[in-house]
Chain A
């Protein structure tokens, strides 16, 4: 079974500052993928970034980077230079790589509020 834990129900960050959203995971799969999604107040789920368990480097996508620490089973999302439009719910998710591993397992999310 896979499990995602997001321990920060809510976070505040000043505009233009960087913020780290925590995510820890548990799985017995030797190969897996970690994802972050953004859900603004409008409700849609927007894919942000992906990290494979065997990737040697941390993933980056524009202002988003994933701080992947495999030994600690953590996959924290770092948002640099926060903008007001970054205010949203953020979900960490994972899936295995085995046959039939189609399900994304989600955490409960972190609500980020960017303060002007």
Chain B
């Protein structure tokens, strides 16, 4: 099992360009998440998908859109990139169990720089 995979690993964009970050999981998980990690900080939730066909905003959704393409795949789109979106982006997935013990497993991350 590959777990959670993300593409690309690195990306450099110019201000105003758009791009889509791809995420896939092979653990048959129901829930998927997108986080960003900025220097000196923990991760902050951008969007999540509790189950196939649903998406919801997290703590920092502005400037992003998401698509839950199917149970395996959850993409994050930047329509018009800004320097403030320079960050490391992590995708995660979990079984989607009720309660607090639903462990999230993370992909390797995408390091994005917006010039």
Contact = CB atoms under 8 A, between A and B. Distances in A.
Task: Say if A and B assemble together.
Answer: yes
B100 A101 contact: yes
Contacts of A95: 100, 102
A50 B99 CA distance: 13
A25 interface: no
Interface in B27-86: 31, 33, 35, 40-45, 48, 50, 56, 58-59
Contacts of A45: 43, 90, 92, 106, 109
A23 to B, nearest CB: 11
Contacts of B44: 106
A97 B103 contact: no
B42 A109 contact: yes
B17 interface: no
**B interface, how many residues as a size bin?**
20 to 34
A37 B41 CA distance: 14
Nearest to B99: A97
A31 B104 contact: no
Contacts of A105: 42
Nearest to B33: A102
A43 B35 CA distance: 14
B112 interface: no
Nearest to B109: A43
B109 A44 contact: yes
23 contacts: A4-B42, A31-B100, A32-B100, A35-B103, A43-B88, A43-B111, A44-B107, A45-B90, A45-B92, A47-B106, A50-B103, A52-B100, A91-B42, A91-B43, A93-B42, A95-B100, A102-B33, A102-B45, A102-B48, A102-B56, A102-B58, A103-B59, A104-B104
B108 A43 contact: yes
A44 B33 contact: no
A60 interface: no
Nearest to B106: A45
Contacts of B111: 43
Interface string A18-41: 000000000001011101010000
